[in-house]
Amino acid sequence: MVTIAEVARHAGVAVSTVSYALSGKRSISPGTRRRVEASVRALGYQPRKNAHGVMLHLALPGHGALGADWLGAFLGAATATAHAGGADLLVSPSAHHRGASGVVVVAPASPPLDTSVPVVLVGGDAGAPAHSRVDLDRVAAGVRAANYLADLGHRAVAFVHSGPPEDFQHGVARGARERNVALRAHCWSTEVDQVFAHDRPTAVVASDDAALAAVLEDFQRRQLRVPEDVSVLALCSDEAARRGRWAVTSVSVSPAALGRAAVEAVLDGRPTARLLAPRLTVRASTTPVRGVSG
């Protein structure tokens, strides 16, 4: 069965444009309408009976992988953007998309193998060329983090990560080189104790929630004060940054911005990789190095 997404690709327009052209809900230029109608005839598309518009599926990970505040902001923006585009949004734990015109998959949920409709990944692995992707610009986030710490006078910074090196670490390393900051990288699962094995860094950057938790646990064990003894900055959600004993300065992206961008991308239907600018939120975990004014 021909889908509305295939009609959109054939006509070179967005899925929402096809929906508007067929439903008459919004004004479409005569040229665009003719193009859509020609594609409908060429492909033999048959709109579903009693269909009221475009249906999008939103696949979310289970087991409470996303914080309530993050999820609420993301869903609110995604739903509003879908409605503005003439679409309904069906939320489910899987990426099964029977009857859907497009799918948004929030990592770590698994994307569908079937690519007959547009699929947009939010976060997760960048190595999925068959799908569009919307995410934080992690390289820019790393550069922003390094510049912020350099502005505070930090010149010895440790980087703690919970997996293989990725774009955020590359960005921190780039920013550190540009600002003459000495950067040491450690893997928290085996080497978090090595952060203070040599000269003590004045700041630590954590790559994600897991790395941040390990760092803060180690600091409590060592009875280190944050930020008096060491500053801490993390790539994490606002919820994770506020969760522990210390309110942590973070780089992140607004979940509402991700929700809007993901639905816009799936309605557009064309392959895309959209990276959103990072947001730095300063909290109590970072301070200028003693003797350096902010």
Burial label, 271 (beta-carbon count in 10 A; 0-12, 13-18, 19+): middle
Domains of the chain are 4-43 (no CATH), 54-135+256-276 (3.40.50.2300), 138-253 (3.40.50.2300)
Per-residue pLDDT reduced to its tens digit, 148-181: 999 999 999 999 998 888 899 999 999 999 999 9
3-state secondary structure (DSSP) of residue 201? coil
- 176/13 Cα distance (integer angstroms): 43
Contact criterion met (CB below 8 Å) for 33 and 66:
no
**Of the candidates 144, 135, 174, 131, which has an alpha carbon nearest to the alpha carbon of residue 266?**
131
Q: Give CA torsion, residues 202, 207, 212, 214, to 10 deg.
A: -90
Mean pLDDT by 10 residues, the chain (294 residues): 74 78 74 84 69 78 80 94 86 78 88 81 73 94 98 96 89 97 82 81 94 92 94 94 93 95 89 94 96 54
- 176/239 Cα distance (integer angstroms): 27
